[in-house]
Amino acid sequence: MFALALHGGAGTIARASLTPALEAAYRAALQAALAAGTTLLAQGAPALDAVEATVRSLEDCPLFNAGRGAVFTHDGHHEMDAALMDGASGRAGAVAGVRQVQNPIRAARLVMEQTEHVLLAYPGADELAHAHGLPLQPPAYFFTQQRFDQLQQAIAAGRTQLDHAASPGPGPAPLGPDPNWKKGTVGAVARDQRGYLAAATSTGGMTNKRYSRIGDTPIIGAGTWADARCAISCTGHGEYFMRAVVGYDVACLMEYKGLSLAEACRVVVHDKLAPVGGEGGLIAADAAGHLALPFNSEGMYRASHSMAGEELVAIY
């Protein structure tokens, strides 16, 4: 008896831009990540191992804005953030702005298990990963042409953009909202066979971001949270999620107001975030194995495996 949910970002490629082949590729990647986590859970592995494996699968896929395929900063770098939290122990680890670590989620777990800290930033986080033998990669590993083209469009338009504007053709990208923007953060939450919970989140951030901007993903309680009651992984416009302390707010609504997981998530995503412009969503699991996958954007790349063994893979 276990449950797992994952996301590959809220907001989606506009339906008109999503070819059958590209949709099939996204669905296959989501299914592969789901299988990576559920296989471990079925074998009795801890929830923490399952969410790490699920996120690593998504980091390795260039379709998502995490790990390989992360978006570019204004200066042409990749600055990646990740975090994970173990609900059973309350321990957490996170990294911000790493540039060389192949799987930032592994570095986040290293911070949790091998240091007395919770959050390390570049360059120290990369140095820790190197010291403990985690695979490091040159910039070319993380490069994808699509992400590079997005950077050029964002620079020409003078904007910092949330992933994932599909190439609109020659010339500068239009100012204002783009129907193809996608918040490409990835994440996973799980309830293992012992009833313990864990959450993990990873992202490349925003295209054309400057000044080493850091979003909600590595901020424990904002983009990532897990305790004995619930596990949360968020995706969306990080500044809003940080201000709302989204992950912890869901847990507090459950603890102090006695709301169910589904109702607490609904209140946060639709009643609190949406009215102030906080577009995005989250995935959540509780100790009973209930799952919630709410979002206030057009869609959210997502997949889940329920306690009853039912599986879902969806985009819109």
Q: Which residues are annotated as a binding site?
A: 213-216, 235-238
Residue type, 32: A
User: Catalytic residues, which ones?
Assistant: 185
Where is the binding site for substrate, in residues? 213-216, 235-238
Residues 6+ apart with CB under 8 A from 177: none
Amino acid sitting at position 74: H
Q: What is the DSSP letter of 17?
A: G
Structure tokens at 236: 């969306």
- Judge contact between 217 and 223, C-beta under 8 A: yes
Strand ordering across the sheet containing 230-236: 224-226, 230-236, 280-286, 291-292
Q: Any idea which residue has 């996608």 for tokens?
A: 182
Structure tokens at 240: 């809003």
Give CB contacts under 8 A, 24+ apart, made by 120-127: 120/94, 120/95, 120/96, 121/95, 121/96, 121/97, 121/212, 121/214, 122/79, 122/95, 122/96, 122/97, 122/98, 122/212, 125/95, 125/96, 125/97, 125/98, 125/101, 126/98, 126/99, 126/100, 126/101
Query: 177 exposed, middle or buried (CB, 10 Å; 0-12, 13-18, 19+)?
Result: exposed
**Nearest partner of 304 among 190, 227, 217, judged by Cα:** 190
| Residue among 189, 210, 209 at smallest CA distance from 201 | 189
